[in-house]
Amino acid sequence: MATTTEIARYHTTLPDAAVNHLGRLVATWGLLADLCFADLLLMVPVTRSDALGDAVTGRSLVVLGQVRPLTSQTLYRTDLVGSVLPASVRPAVFRSWESGEIIDSDQHIDGVTDPVQSLCLPVRFDGSTIAVLTRDTTANVGRQPGELERAYLEVFNRLARMVASGLFPFSHVEGLSDEAPRVGDGLLVLDGAGRVEFASPNAVSALHRLGFHANAEGATLGALGINEAAVTAGFSRRRPVVEEVERGAETTVVVHCLPLVDADEVTGGLVLLRDISELRRRDRLLMTKDATIREIHHRVKNNLQTISSLLRLQGRRLTSPEAKTGIDDSVRRIRSIAVVHETLAHGVGDDVPFADVVDSLVRMVSEGLVDPERPVRVEVAGTAGVLPGPVATSLAVVLSELLQNVVEHGYPPEVIAGGGQVRVGLRNDGERLLVSVVDDGVGLPTGFAIDDTTSLGLSIVRTLVTSELHGTITMENGSGPAGRQGTVVVIDLPLADQTDPITGSVPVVRS
């Protein structure tokens, strides 16, 4: 579904500042819908002739947004966002648009059995009407009037006047997030002096959890034991302020203060309260679990380093060159896996920024395998993005084996006197990961095929790529001159097919 901004820019000629104002309204108008127990629609006349044609321009309305109340049932079962309506269907909307006045009307709407009571509010910005907000309800939909309902509707009327005068939504909002309270979480209505005029039942419950059990009406938040900084800042700045109030380690309540302004004067405020104690408890648990996981990766890395040290000690006691080579290769493979766990130990979550792993592998190869008198320079181009831990571990071993193979076999001294250049290419488009290792060495022997290789290192590469990573690998000669034509290795990995070997879940891979 298209966004409010996209629909407005396609159907209207509103300036960007006005469109952004409407976007802020749609982002915060759940509060209005809850307070008036009704559906809200945001409409504006079509003004772009190239959108639908000259025949409808100026005589049609496009629905930019729609919100349903959490405090009552809805009139509309279907989404109307993006719909284009003839002006004759909503004549009151056009009258409100043209006059800039609040208009209340009754009308019949397709799909709704009873007559709809529609309150049309002009949305003003920078002195001009840029849209019309409608509050739609019927006599059979809503709640029986009581103290709470009367208080909510009175607050809605005050906010509606702010919408019509261009004071709501606020141009600047601090601290809002997905944890921002809704009306049903708990609402306090304050007068101009910051004293409580009305407290909803859920707000009273939130105050009880904060340790205040006396009657709240007539008291200030300070008298209730709540820091009044949010109210003071909201009233003085004339914009919303969000703060968290904690009572011990177990109780956390979000305090969201919205000033109510009339004729450029703060006449009161709304304070929305939401108990997020359980959310914060879960956050603390997640932080503890995350720290535990990082510690596990750190210990795995240390254990792998201990194993590699023991193998090196064992290798020093061996006299067989083949045995020494086998031990050295095993040490290098273990170190490649340790690099991934070291990265995971310093990060958050189970994903690995693979660029850090590649840098460590290149440094490890350069320091441990390259002869200073015959240097082989390794260049890395592109990025693999962020990969799941299991994918990063297998790919680290693959790259390590390929780089070692190039250094050991790509530049034999009897054929190439100097060193060479190796280029590692990485490209991640979110669906596939392409890895290439290109050198300017002697190339592959005649008749070489990776499927028939007897080399342990290349056998490991082939198995990891095809079995563990579900990808493909090709190795062929480059296009250089004879004797130094080079080798081109290309690995193609379908990232969407990667699954966690333990949980079987498909990880999220970011490019």
Is CATH 3.30.565.10 the right assignment for the domain spanning 350-511? yes
Residue 127 is which amino acid? Answer: G
Query: 476 or 455, which is more confident?
Result: 476
Domain range list for the chain: 4-144+151-165, 183-275, 278-349, 350-511
Chosen CATH of 183-275 out of 1.10.10.10, 1.10.3720.10, 3.50.50.60, 3.30.450.20: 3.30.450.20
Is it true that 183-275 and 350-511 share their CATH fold?
no
Task: Say whether the peptide bond before residue 388 is cis (omega within 30 degrees of 0).
Answer: no
Q: Taking all residues of the chain, what is their mean pLDDT, rounded to a whole number? A: 81
Q: Is residue 55 predicted with pLDDT exceeding 50?
A: no
CA atoms within 13 A on the CB side of 334: 19
Q: Is residue 177 predicted with pLDDT exceeding 60?
A: no
Chosen CATH of 4-144+151-165 out of 3.30.450.280, 1.10.287.3510, 3.50.30.50, 1.10.10.60: 3.30.450.280
Cα–Cα distance, 231 to 312 (Å, whole number):
66
Quick one: pLDDT at residue 281?
74
Cα–Cα distance, 504 to 70 (Å, whole number):
37
Query: CB count, 10 Å around CB of 150?
Result: 11
Q: Which residues partner with 9 through β-bridges?
A: none
Contact 93, 64 (CB under 8 A): no
Q: Is residue 346 predicted with pLDDT exceeding 50?
A: yes
**Average pLDDT for residues 374-396, to the nearest whole number?**
84
Quick one: pLDDT at residue 54?
45
Quick one: pLDDT at residue 391?
85
Cα–Cα distance, 255 to 242 (Å, whole number):
6
Q: Is residue 175 predicted with pLDDT exceeding 50?
A: no
Instruction: Report which of 435, 411, 428 is spatially closest to residue 489, judged by C-alpha positions.
Output: 435
**Average pLDDT for residues 377-390, to the nearest whole number?**
86
Lowest mean pLDDT among 121-130, 475-484, 495-504: 495-504
Using a CB cutoff of 8 Å and minimum separation of 24, what contacts does 301-306 make? 301/338, 301/341, 301/342, 301/345, 304/334, 304/335, 304/337, 304/338, 304/341, 305/335, 305/338
Find the length of the chain. Answer: 511
Cα–Cα distance, 216 to 206 (Å, whole number):
12
DSSP track, 125-156: ETTEEEEEEEEEE-TTSS----HHHHHHHHHH
